[in-house]
Amino acid sequence: MNPRRLTPSMSMLVAFEAAARHCSFTLAGVELSLTQSAVTRQVQGLEALLEVQLFRREGRKIELTPAGALYQHELAAALGRIRSATLQTIAHNSESATLNLAVLPTFGSKWLLPRLHDFYARHPSCVVHVHSRIIDLDQAPVLNDMHALICAGQGHWPGYISHPLVAEKMVLIASARALPGYADMAPADVLQHVLLGVVSRPHVWSEWFDHYGLDRHGMRMGPSFEFTAHLIQAVAAGIGVALVPRILVQDEIRSGALVTLFEPMDSGRTYYLAYASRYQHWPSLLALRDWLLAQPFPDAITQQP
């Protein structure tokens, strides 16, 4: 088959896609700053090239044929990718390249934001828009309108490039004021306390009890919170004890507002910077990636060559 037939001109494709979306040659012409007759000629030329009728015409009304509807569905996605690639190319040389970054809420407020001033000092031309999102790529591999995200998981996500930042270690935290005898506690003594949690980690206490060989039936489950930040505040207020990622309570532990009990437990998850492969050359993303990988994370993972 003639390659020319398989690669119609962009003007034909754009005219067809706009006419198909509006079901009108006139409205397509308004969008494209063309006359109605110019759009009609482009669509007729496309139909002649393909030897396929794309529209049914009844007077001034048009509607897609089944073949036209299929072509429009596939073409809309392709044109969307072309427009996205064009925007990325235009932005690539922009001195104020922006980045939409999705971050787990508590990681963002407790770790990233207090340190972001250092990133801006090193990269003043970059603009990072931080969005709090609870995203689990292991369950729902969708990034939507984000260029990158910091999340926790296994790190094996098709279509994404991921860089491990720090292994997630869960620590049992308590208020020293609420538990004056915490230094003498044994794991079994936790059965006497209210166990707090977050809704996104419903099984963490069962895993901890199994880790220490304790009977799950003795658990006294208390309130659950949507955000880990609220869970940490509840523990500091003496409402109960909780299991949280150690990286999120460094400041409270250093200040003495919270204490940790027993040894940390490996959750089996890791915090990652992840992004779809199509963004791998985005200037501000490269800057953020290099900055993050240079940070002194506790329990940091060495990036494999």
pLDDT digits (tens, 9 = 90+) for 76-87: 888 888 887 777
Closest CA to 43 of 4, 63, 81, 82: 63
pLDDT, position 20:
92
Q: What is the pLDDT of residues 236-295, one digit of tens each?
A: 999 999 999 998 998 888 888 899 998 999 988 899 999 988 888 888 899 999 999 999
Pick the last residue of a domain from 92, 107, 129: 92
Task: Give the pLDDT confidence score for residue 177 in this predicted structure.
Answer: 86
Q: In degrees rounded to 5, what are phi and psi of residue 245?
A: -60, 130
pLDDT digits (tens, 9 = 90+) for 25-35: 999 999 999 99
Question: How far is Cα 301 from Cα 270, in angstroms, rounded to an integer?
Answer: 9
My answer on whether 112 and 130 are in the same domain is yes
> In this predicted structure, what is the pLDDT of residue 297?
78
In this prediction, residue 282 carries a pLDDT of: 84
- Condensed to tens digits (0 to 9), the pLDDT of residues 191-216 reads 889 999 999 888 999 999 999 898 88
For residue 205, give its domain range: 97-305
Q: Give me the percent of the chain exceeding a pLDDT of 70.
A: 90
User: At 79, which CATH number?
Assistant: 1.10.10.10
Nearest to 200 by CA among 253, 152, 234: 152
- Which tokens hold the place of 121? 């000092």
How many domains does the chain divide into? 2
Domain boundary among 43, 58, 92: 92
DSSP for 45-57, written as a single string: HHHHHHT---EEE
pTM exceeds 0.75: no
177/215 same-domain check: yes
Position 81 scores a pLDDT of 85
d(CA 188, CA 110): 30
Same domain assignment for residues 106 and 198: yes
Are 176 and 141 part of one and the same domain?
yes
Select from 168, 170, 166, 167 the least CA-distant residue to 293.
166
Provide the residue type at 204 as one letter.
V
Are residues 289 and 189 located together in one domain of the fold? Answer: yes
The candidate with the shortest Cα–Cα distance to 88, out of 284, 291, 290, is 284
- pLDDT (mean) for 230-239: 93
pLDDT of residue 302: 38
- Residue 105 has φ and ψ, to the nearest 5°, of -50, -50
End-to-end, the C-alpha distance of the chain in Å comes to 45
Which of 51, 72, 92 is the last residue before a domain boundary?
Answer: 92
Q: Rounded CA gap, 154 and 2, in Å?
A: 47
Is residue 175 pLDDT above 80, yes or no?
Answer: yes
Tell whether 190 and 242 lie within a shared domain.
Answer: yes
Dihedral sign computed on CA atoms, order 246, 252, 254, 257: negative
Question: What is the tens place of the pLDDT at every residue in 111-169?
Answer: 999 999 999 999 988 889 999 887 767 666 566 678 899 998 888 888 889 999 999 99
d(CA 139, CA 142): 9
Q: 83 with 116, same domain?
A: no
pLDDT at 14: 93
Q: Do 159 and 111 have their domain in common?
A: yes
> Are 47 and 127 part of one and the same domain?
no
The pLDDT-based confidence of 176 (bands split at 50, 70, 90) is confident
d(CA 63, CA 208) in angstroms, rounded, equals 61
Write the CATH number for 205.
3.40.190.290
For the chain, the average pLDDT equals 86
Indicate whether 186 and 270 sit together in one domain.
yes
Separation in Å, CA 201 to CA 118, 171, 230, 263, 289: 32, 14, 14, 19, 27
pLDDT over threshold 50, residue 45: yes
Supply φ then ψ for residue 290, to 5 degrees: -65, -35
Residue 111 gets which letter from DSSP?
I
Burial of 235 (0-12, 13-18, 19+ CB in 10 A): buried
288 and 185 assigned to the same domain: yes
Reported confidence tier of residue 300, pLDDT bands at 50, 70, 90: very low
Tokens of 224: 């659950």
Q: Within this chain, do residues 82 and 115 fall inside the same structural domain, yes or no?
A: no
Give pLDDT, residue 205: 92
pLDDT at 301 over 70: no
Q: Are strands 259-276 and 148-153 parallel, antiparallel or unpaired?
A: antiparallel
